[in-house]
């Protein structure tokens, strides 16, 4: 007995339910003594009919599985099937027809009474077939839902004596049959759904992604390290990963796999892992022989030790470490006055500056008026005169501080404002005068306050000690400007008051050098500060490393500033550190904005191949690689097992003769077609350049000096003449050196010494790479400066000027001088490889391929540099968009029930399903398709090689594409 991949199955007994028993008629005049004979005959017929129905159900289910209907036919019988459940309806129709046939011979005789069972006849019309289907209900049953629960309506039991009918009953028996046809169909449908599911859902696309990641990452890092690899992700890799994913999905859905398919994956994996240099990229005859014949060579292998890709987690280098790096130098230059204002000196002065302010407030305590009013309505007002005076009496003052302002002195007054109004009135030739006096009472507070000049990120300082003289000067000046306390009080009562302020600066208690001594270590600390992000997210434009750096440093701000102290000297030092961190935050903000533009460009480039949600699904899928567990359900009897058989067992991208894989018909088929698109084949191709152009200071018609230098280096190593590119790179080198010489001359170094410090014996390409990555500038600073302080200042100035110069037109060779070189190298590689291949010696082809790759294509830059600016270039990324489509010519799942019941076989091979007894075509058992699409992102550290396909085939398609 086959005991592989055992699945639980409840085969316990037969459940018989008489769910609707209706006595429709009793004919005759039987004596009471004859009723037991009728009852015994009817009971016997019921038992035999259920036995017959059970056999009919088992027979119909087995036939339905052997020829499952997944697409109804446009025939009389096919149109009776519901499009949403054609398999179930076809099973119900088969079951009704088999049941009617099986009931025909049922006849039980008891005491001269004969009982028979029958079902209504079926008309050979769509309506007749539909009525038969509606008489049957089928569903899965049992503890593991592997059996069938069947209900058949309108089974008629008839009792006769001689030729006379004596009783008739209609019943709808329900019973359970140990047949897994529905289970087999549902599992196969689940497998089909997963074989065509998008990468956002559980299925083959996710499994393919998980398997391609270790292949792509391993090969990508090997290429970056100098291995002769021109095609990181090829057809053979997609084919292998797809078949491995299919085998894993078989295991997950059925608890069993096609052993030949399993061994074919092992053979293909070994072939890729050991040689990976077959002339055919996964589609020629040698490859097909290797994978389809490999099962015999390899034999049954442990599925837990597949050679490539199978159920592995992704490589450990799945994160990108991004550092502050040269942003620290740029921020330092902003703070110490290398460019612009010397913020260190300004903050030292502010740490020793005191601000003073005189404030006054008034509270109305009431008012009253006395004196004469208007002399009458016939008098005319002709003149008004007002006189105001304020009297002050001292009151008790409250000396409350306000925020970070400290009250130095305070006075309070009870104030009375007296206003006398004299009005002159006229009536004809007569005049008269009225006088009225108004008095208002106020409480007036005048406060003299002081504080140290505020500095962001620095606590307020103490006003005593070193700042005491400045405090006195500032407060005296502010009070003098206010005219003293009494004058200020009168002014506030009369409404003419405005606060007065004054400042004073104390002698410095700390030198600029001392403050710099605390800022420099902070610069080095932050320079080495890094964050780690998922590499695929960075390469796919789903992460912004500079923004994460900024947030991470903001979280550490208090730690980096150190403990607060209110004395002048530590405040000045903290102010210098705070100014540096602010400048660094602004620098990282700029980098984050630039990276956001890059991410937008990457998203647009990838969006042409894969929607955003599916790209996110692909990024998540690579973390889900694990060996699937088979279904686990109760299995008390242990007598049902699954076996999977597919044709072909391994879906190849090469054509295969039908007779080789046991498929019906003649000729050849291509089981699988694949396509993989390398999105960023080169840093100077159109797609990559369109993204790089989003960086504000990079032009569209020119490329980075490092990229041009790497291309020139590849040409030099392959003995390819590139006079135009060499001339342009040499001119860019001279431009950069000139800018660096100017900086050193400005620092007091002679032009002769400056030029000597920048000279090198390297060739044009290597000299350009050294200039671009900053090693030449660092070496020059160490050569010409005498002290460590001078070297540090010069190094910062040179790095800053270098970054600005590399963005200038003169330092960026034209793209027109660069792009012909990769094309020429690829063409020469292809010509020589074809010449060797004509001899048909695979060993020589592989050897030649490696030597050509290492010499010519191995040094070509590839991929998309993420933020390709020296000091900021932290990764090179590439993306492969992968599609595959195919189908199994034959997909068979066999359930061995054990014992005499025999196996039930479910077959999907494209054949028509028919009811042979009526010559009625029901539909088609469609082949099981495979459809998938995903993306694989590989990210490597910065370097001249990068990562990507350098053989010039950005869009690689197998021979059967499009499917």
Tell me: the pLDDT tens digits for 197-245? 999 898 999 999 888 888 888 788 877 777 777 788 888 889 988 998 9
Residue 160 structure tokens: 């006769």
The pTM assigned to this predicted structure is: 0.76
**Residue 228: predicted pLDDT:** 72
Asked which of 706-715, 748-757, 816-825 is least confident by mean pLDDT, the reply is 816-825
pLDDT the model gives residue 635: 33
Q: Does residue 32 have a pLDDT over 50? A: no
* Stronger pLDDT, 586 or 711, i.e. the higher one: 586
Average pLDDT for residues 592-604, to the nearest whole number?
85
**From 230-244, 418-432, 848-862, the region with the lowest mean pLDDT:** 848-862
pLDDT on residue 288:
54
Measured CA to CA, the distance from residue 173 to residue 137 in angstroms comes to: 11
pLDDT at 11: 35
Place 98 in a pLDDT band, splitting at 50, 70 and 90.
Answer: very high
**pLDDT (tens digit per residue) in 102-161:** 999 999 988 889 999 999 999 999 999 999 999 999 999 987 788 999 999 999 999 999
pLDDT of residue 289: 55
**Neighbour-count burial for 746-785, b at 16+ CB within 10 Å, e otherwise:** ebebeeeebbebbeeeeebbebbbbbbbbebbbebbebbb
- Of 73-87, 167-181, 807-821, minimum mean pLDDT range: 807-821
Dist. CA 28–CA 161, nearest whole Å: 10
386-422: pLDDT as tens digits: 888 888 888 888 777 777 899 999 999 998 888 888 8
User: Residue by residue, what is the 3-state secondary structure of 573-624?
Assistant: HHHHHHHHHHHHHHHHHHHHHHHHHHHHHHHHHHHCCCCHHHHHHHHHHHHH
Cα 263-266-268 angle, rounded to 5 deg: 110
Is residue 892 over pLDDT 90?
Answer: yes
Please answer whether residues 218 and 231 qualify as being in contact, where contact means their C-beta atoms are separated by less than 8 angstroms.
no
Find tokens 């005959």 and name the residue: 41
Give the whole-angstrom CA distance, residue 123 versus residue 127.
8
pLDDT the model gives residue 495: 83
Mean pLDDT, residues 776-780: 89
Of 154, 168, 148, 61, whose CA–CA distance to 100 is shortest? 154
Q: What does the pLDDT read at residue 313? A: 44
How do the residues of the chain divide into helix, strand and coil, expressed in percent and rounded to 5?
Answer: 45, 25, 30
Whether 61 has a pLDDT exceeding 80, the answer reads: yes
Beta bridge partners of 386: 421
Confidence of residue 934 (pLDDT cuts 50, 70, 90): very high
Query: Quick one: average pLDDT of 253-257?
Result: 90
Asked if 169 contacts 23 with a C-beta cutoff of 8 angstroms, the reply is yes
What is the mean pLDDT of the segment spanning 490-518? 91
Measured between alpha carbons, how far is 940 from 866 in angstroms, rounded to an integer? 10
Band of pLDDT at residue 870, cut at 50, 70 and 90: low
Dihedrals phi, psi of 501, to nearest 5 degrees: -130, 160
Sequence-ordered list of residues with C-beta below 8 angstroms from that of 519, at least 6 positions apart, any chain: 332, 335, 336, 344, 576, 577, 580
479 SS3 class: helix
**Mean per-residue pLDDT for 26-39?**
57
Q: What's the pLDDT band for 746 if we cut at 50, 70, 90?
A: confident
pLDDT bracket for residue 604 (50, 70, 90): confident
For position 579, what pLDDT does the model report?
A: 93
Neighbours of 391 (CB within 10 A): 13
């Amino acid at each position: 007995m086959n005991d592989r991949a055992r699945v639980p199955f409840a085969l316990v007994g037969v459940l018989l339910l008489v769910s609707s028993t209706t006595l429709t008629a009793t004919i005759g005049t039987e004596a009471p003594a004859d009723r037991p004979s009728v009852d015994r005959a009817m009971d016997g017929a019921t038992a035999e009919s259920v036995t017959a129905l059970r056999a009919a159900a088992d027979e119909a289910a087995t036939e339905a599985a052997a020829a499952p209907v997944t697409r109804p036919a446009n025939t009389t019988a096919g149109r009776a099937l519901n499009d949403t459940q054609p398999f179930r309806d076809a099973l119900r129709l088969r079951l009704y027809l088999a049941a009617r046939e099986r009931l025909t011979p049922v006849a039980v005789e008891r005491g001269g009474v004969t009982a028979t069972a029958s079902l209504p006849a079926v008309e050979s019309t769509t309506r007749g077939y539909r009525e038969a289907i509606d008489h049957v209900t089928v569903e899965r049953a049992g503890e593991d839902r592997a059996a069938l629960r069947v209900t058949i309506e309108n089974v008629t039991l008839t009792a006769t004596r001689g030729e006379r009918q004596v009783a008739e009953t209609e019943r709808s028996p329900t019973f359970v049959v140990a047949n897994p046809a529905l289970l087999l169909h549902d599992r196969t449908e689940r497998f089909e759904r997963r074989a065509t599911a998008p990468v956002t859902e559980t299925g083959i696309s996710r499994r393919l992604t998980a398997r391609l990641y270790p292949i792509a990452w391993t090969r990508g890092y090997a290429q970056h390290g100098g291995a002769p690899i021109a095609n990181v992700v090829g057809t053979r890799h997609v084919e292998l990963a797809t078949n491995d994913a299919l085998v894993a999905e078989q295991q997950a859905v059925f608890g069993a796999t096609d052993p030949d398919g399993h061994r074919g994956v092992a053979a293909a994996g070994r072939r890729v892992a050991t040689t990976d240099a077959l002339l055919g990229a996964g589609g020629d005859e040698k490859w097909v022989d290797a994978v389809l014949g490999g099962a015999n060579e390899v034999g049954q292998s442990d599925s837990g030790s597949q050679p490539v890709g199978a159920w592995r987690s992704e490589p450990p280098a799945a994160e990108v470490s991004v550092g502050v790096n040269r942003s620290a130098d740029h921020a330092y230059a902003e703070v110490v006055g290398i460019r612009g204002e010397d913020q260190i000196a300004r903050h030292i002065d502010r740490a020793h500056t005191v601000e003073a302010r005189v404030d006054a407030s008034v509270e109305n305590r009431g008012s009253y008026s006395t004196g004469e009013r208007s002399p009458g309505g016939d008098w005319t007002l002709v003149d008004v005169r007002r006189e105001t005076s304020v009297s002050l009496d001292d009151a008790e003052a409250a000396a409350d501080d306000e925020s970070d302002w400290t009250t130095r002195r305070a006075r309070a007054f009870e104030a009375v404002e007296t206003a006398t109004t004299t009005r002159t009135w006229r009536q004809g030739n007569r005049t008269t005068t009225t006088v009225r006096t108004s008095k208002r009472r106020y409480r007036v507070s005048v406060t003299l306050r002081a504080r140290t000049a505020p500095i962001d990120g620095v606590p307020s300082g103490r006003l005593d000690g070193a700042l005491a003289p400045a405090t006195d000067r500032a407060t005296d000046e502010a009070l003098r400007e206010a005219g003293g306390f009494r004058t200020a009080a009168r002014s506030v009562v009369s409404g003419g008051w405005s606060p007065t302020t004054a400042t004073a600066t104390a002698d410095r208690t700390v030198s600029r050098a001392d403050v710099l001594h605390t800022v420099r270590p902070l610069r080095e600390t932050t320079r080495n500060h890094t964050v780690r992000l998922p590499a695929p997210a960075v390469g796919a434009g789903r992460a912004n490393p500079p923004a994460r750096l900024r947030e991470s440093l903001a979280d550490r701000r208090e730690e980096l500033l150190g403990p607060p102290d209110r004395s002048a000297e530590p405040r000045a030092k903290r102010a210098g550190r705070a100014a540096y961190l602010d400048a660094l935050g602004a620098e990282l903000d700029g980098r984050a904005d630039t990276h956001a533009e890059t991410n937008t460009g990457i998203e647009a480039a990838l969006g042409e191949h894969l929607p955003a949600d599916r790209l996110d699904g692909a990024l998540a899928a690579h973390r889900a690689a694990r060996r699937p567990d088979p279904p686990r359900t109760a299995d008390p009897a242990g007598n049902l097992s699954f076996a999977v058989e597919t044709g072909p067992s391994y879906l190849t991208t090469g054509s295969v003769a039908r007779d080789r894989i046991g498929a019906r018909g003649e000729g050849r088929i291509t089981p699988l077609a694949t396509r993989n698109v390398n999105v960023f084949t080169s840093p100077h191709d159109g797609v990559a350049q369109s993204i790089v152009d989003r960086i504000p200071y990079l032009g569209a018609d020119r490329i980075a000096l490092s990229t041009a230098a790497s291309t020139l280096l590849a040409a030099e190593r392959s003995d390819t003449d590139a006079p135009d590119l060499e001339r342009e790179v040499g001119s860019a080198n001279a431009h950069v050196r000139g800018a660096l010489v100017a900086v050193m001359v400005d620092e007091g170094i002679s032009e002769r010494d400056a030029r000597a410090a920048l000279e090198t014996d390297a060739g044009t390409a290597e000299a350009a790479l050294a200039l671009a990555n900053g090693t030449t500038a660092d070496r020059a600073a160490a050569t010409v400066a005498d002290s460590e302080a001078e070297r540090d200042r010069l190094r910062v100035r040179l790095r800053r000027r270098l970054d600005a110069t590399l963005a200038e037109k003169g330092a960026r060779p034209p793209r027109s001088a660069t792009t012909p070189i990769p094309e020429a190298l690829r063409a020469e590689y292809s010509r020589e490889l074809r010449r060797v291949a004509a001899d048909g010696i695979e060993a020589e082809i592989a050897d030649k391929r490696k030597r050509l790759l290492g010499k010519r294509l191995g040094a070509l830059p590839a991929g998309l540099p993420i933020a390709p600016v020296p000091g900021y270039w932290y990764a090179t990324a590439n993306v492969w968009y992968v599609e595959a489509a195919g189908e199994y010519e034959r997909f068979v799942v066999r359930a061995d029930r054990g014992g005499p019941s025999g196996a039930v076989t479910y077959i999907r091979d494209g054949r028509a399903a028919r009811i042979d007894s009526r010559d009625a075509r029901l539909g088609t058992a469609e082949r099981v398709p495979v459809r998938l699409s995903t993306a694989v992102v590989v990210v490597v550290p910065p370097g001249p090689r990068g990562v990507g396909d350098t053989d010039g085939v950005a869009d690689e398609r197998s021979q059967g594409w499009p499917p």
